[in-house]
Amino acid sequence: MLPGATQAPQGLVPPAPDHAPMLDSMFTQAKAKFDAISKADGLMSKVRKELDTLTEKGPAVTQDDVLDGMAQLVAHGIDPKTLTGLMAGNPQTGEPPMPLESGALAQWLGHQDQVFAQQEAALKPQLDLARHQMGVAALHSLVHNHVTQGPGGTSGAVPNASPGPPPSPSNPLGGGS
C-alpha cells in the first residue's frame, strides 16, 4: 500500500477472505498442469537427444544402435509400450515399422525425427500457456493476500511463498533508497 493509503477507495470492496481456498485451488491446479507438461517436456528433451545421436550416424546406424537408444529412453522413464509401438509402426496412420537394413533404418529415423519435431512444436505453446496460467493464479493469490491482510501479510493461497521483507518506508516499491 502507498504511504497514507489506509483503506480501499470508496466504491471498491476488498474481496472476502473466503476466496482464499478457491484461489489456492486455482494455483494448485495450474501448478499441477504446469508440472505435468514440464515433465513431458523433459522427457521430450531426452528423446530429442537420442534421436539426434542416432540421426547423426546417418546410413551407418544399426538396429542395435536404435535398441540401445530406446533402452536409454526407458531408463529415463519413457513407457516401453510406446517405444514398442513405434517400432511396430501403425498401418492405420501410415507409420511404417522399423526396418532392419541400415539405409532404410536411417530414412525411418529421419521420418521419426520429423514427426517428433511436430510434437515438440505442439508442446511448446502448451507449456507457455501452463506457465502463464500458473503465474496468473499466483498473482491473484498474492493480490488477494495483500488486499485482505495488508502489506507484509504472511498467509495466503500461494503455498511455500515467502512474503520477503517489508518495503522500506522511504520507498513504497520496496527498492533501495
Q: Could you report the per-residue pLDDT of 86-139, keeping only the tens digit for each?
A: 888 887 877 888 888 888 999 999 999 999 999 999 999 999 999 999 999 888
Higher-scoring residue by pLDDT: 24, 40 = 40
**What integer pLDDT is reported at residue 67 of this predicted model?**
92
Higher-scoring residue by pLDDT: 118, 173 = 118
Instruction: Evaluate if residue 29 carries a pLDDT over 60.
Output: yes
CA distances 125 to 1, 38, 89, 121, 122, Å, are 36, 12, 28, 8, 6
Distance of CA 51 to the CA centre of its chain: 21
Look over the chain and give the mean of its residue pLDDT values, rounded to a whole number.
80
Would you state the cell numbers that stand for residue 91, as one nine-digit string?
A: 498401418
pTM: 0.65
The mean pLDDT value for 64-81 works out to 92
User: Sorting pLDDT into bands at 50, 70 and 90, what band is 157?
Assistant: very low
The mean pLDDT value for 34-61 works out to 93
In three-state secondary structure terms, 90 is strand
